[in-house]
């Protein structure tokens, strides 16, 4: 899809879409539960559909109610499974969350998905399966695993992705034995593990930290069906929040002020840059002010990095995003993607293996003429460049804009509702 986004002053209010991270977790807990759960706030994004496909392969059933809620009848897992083939589309969360669950079975499971997904690192699981003497084969076209996974004490790297820990946290409580996971520092994105523990507790499954780097997971547990409303997504709200920091006058509703989402940090980052952020009964109010560059550690908040690199264009000075190596293993190499596209806009950008440095335009004035940019098949690159187009002085033509469907299918509609100028040139 090719989309033209023109400069516009955004104003008014927008509701943050439901959290993708919490949506995955609620779906999996409901799919594993005894009984039926009612989930509100589950979108039809490609990532959510991938997780629903995985639940169907586990034996769960899901259907939409007339009011849009998702009714999930759990599989009361674990149960006997024959060989399975599961397509995870482009969802890294889906793949890493499901691997340990299917590995509770002694039968082989074959995972498929996009080439970029299957190339993403799985070394944490590969090492754990090898230590248990279980097959784990990652190839160009699929990933094959076979259990049965056993409980016990295991040591895992903490610097790759917290998704591996979350996957184990879903599966290990269902074993007969207790388990201990020792995490080798540095421990990246611990906040996402906190989200997992919160959702598990909601469904009656208990695990927790014993110290900073050790998780204790009792076995012999079962998931109990629950009704859950998924809260709004800070990582998606961040795109509009960044626009509000530059232009002012935006309100973002459907955000929980006390959320455990790590990407809630966007509000503190905007404050540090100089923007105004205030909470009201109707949401977070973002106001503009002269913005100044910051050094930002994106290790705990990797999903914010693309939009922060766009925000940096409008900050006086040189913004540095550090501890960013994991960005190279996302839907795209996000360091390389944003560096390439921001240079097309005339920005001064440089990178190392684990950092991205962006210099703000003089007086915050974006100098580009109408320019075509490549979205690198990455939903967060699409949304970041769309926000850049809104804040600039000339339109941007976004090639590959369909990638936004992965996580936020209604993004362009929400952008238009705020006054954004969006024209679809080619479906």
- Please, is 394 exposed, middle or buried when counting C-beta atoms within 10 Å of its C-beta (0-12, 13-18, 19+)? middle
How far apart CA 416 and CA 427 sit, in angstroms, is 17
Geometric angle at alpha carbon 235, from 362 and 378, rounded to 5°: 80
Give the contacts of 46 (CB within 8 A, at least 6 positions apart). 89, 90, 91, 405, 406, 407
Q: Which of 47, 263, 299, 303 is catalytic?
A: 303
Active site (annotated) includes residue 213? no
Q: Measuring CA to CA, which residue among 293, 400, 389, 390 is closest to residue 345?
A: 389
DSSP class of residue 97? H
Give the contacts of 141 (CB within 8 A, at least 6 positions apart). 112, 115, 118
Structure tokens at 242: 């960044």
Task: Give whole-number Cα distances, 205 to 42, 140, 170, 201, 298, in Å.
Answer: 21, 36, 9, 5, 30
- At residue 189, the 3 state secondary structure works out as coil
Helices (H), 33-181: 46-58, 92-102, 115-119, 123-131, 163-171
Q: Which helix (H) or strand (E) holds 398?
A: strand 396-399
Q: Which residues are catalytic?
A: 303
């Amino acid at each position: 899809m090719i989309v033209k986004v023109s400069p516009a002053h955004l104003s008014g209010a927008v509701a943050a879409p439901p959290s993708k991270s919490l949506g995955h977790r609620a779906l999996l807990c409901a799919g594993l539960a005894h009984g039926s759960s009612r989930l509100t706030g589950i979108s039809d994004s490609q990532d959510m559909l991938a997780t629903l496909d995985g639940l169907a392969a586990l034996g769960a059933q899901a259907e939409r109610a007339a009011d849009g809620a998702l009714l999930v009848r759990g599989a009361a897992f674990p149960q006997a499974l024959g060989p399975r083939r599961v397509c995870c589309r482009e969802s890294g969360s889906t793949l890493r969350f499901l691997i340990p669950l299917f590995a509770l079975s002694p039968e082989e499971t074959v995972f498929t998905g996009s080439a970029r997904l299957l190339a993403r690192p799985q070394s944490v699981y590969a090492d754990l399966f090898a230590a248990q003497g279980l097959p784990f084969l990652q190839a160009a076209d699929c990933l094959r695993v076979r259990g049965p996974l056993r409980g016990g004490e295991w040591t895992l790297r903490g610097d790759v992705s917290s998704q591996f820990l979350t996957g184990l946290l879903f599966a290990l409580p269902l074993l007969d034995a207790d388990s201990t996971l020792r995490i080798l520092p540095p421990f990246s994105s611990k906040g996402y593990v906190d989200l997992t523990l919160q959702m598990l507790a909601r469904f009656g499954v208990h695990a927790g930290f014993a110290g900073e780097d050790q998780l204790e997971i009792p076995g012999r547990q079962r998931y109990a069906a629950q009704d859950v409303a998924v809260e709004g997504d800070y990582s998606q709200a961040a795109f509009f929040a960044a626009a509000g920091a530059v232009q002012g006058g935006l309100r973002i509703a459907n955000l929980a002020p006390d959320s455990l989402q790590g990407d809630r940090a966007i509000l503190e980052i905007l404050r540090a840059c100089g923007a105004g952020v205030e909470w009201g009964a109707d949401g977070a109010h973002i106001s503009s002010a002269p913005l100044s560059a910051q050094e930002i550690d994106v290790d705990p908040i990797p999903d914010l990095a693309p939009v922060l690199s766009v925000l940096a264009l409008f900050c006086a000075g040189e913004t540095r995003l550090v501890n960013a190596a994991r960005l190279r293993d996302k839907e795209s190499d996000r360091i390389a993607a944003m560096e390439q596209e921001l240079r097309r806009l005339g920005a001064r950008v440089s990178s190392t293996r684990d950092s991205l440095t962006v210099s703000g335009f003089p007086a915050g004035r974006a100098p580009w003429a109408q320019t075509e940019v490549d979205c690198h098949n990455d939903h967060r690159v699409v949304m970041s460049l769309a926000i850049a187009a809104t804040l600039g002085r000339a339109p941007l033509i976004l090639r590959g804009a369909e990638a936004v469907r992965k996580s936020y299918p209604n993004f362009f509609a929400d952008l238009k509702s705020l006054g954004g100028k969006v024209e679809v040139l080619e479906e």
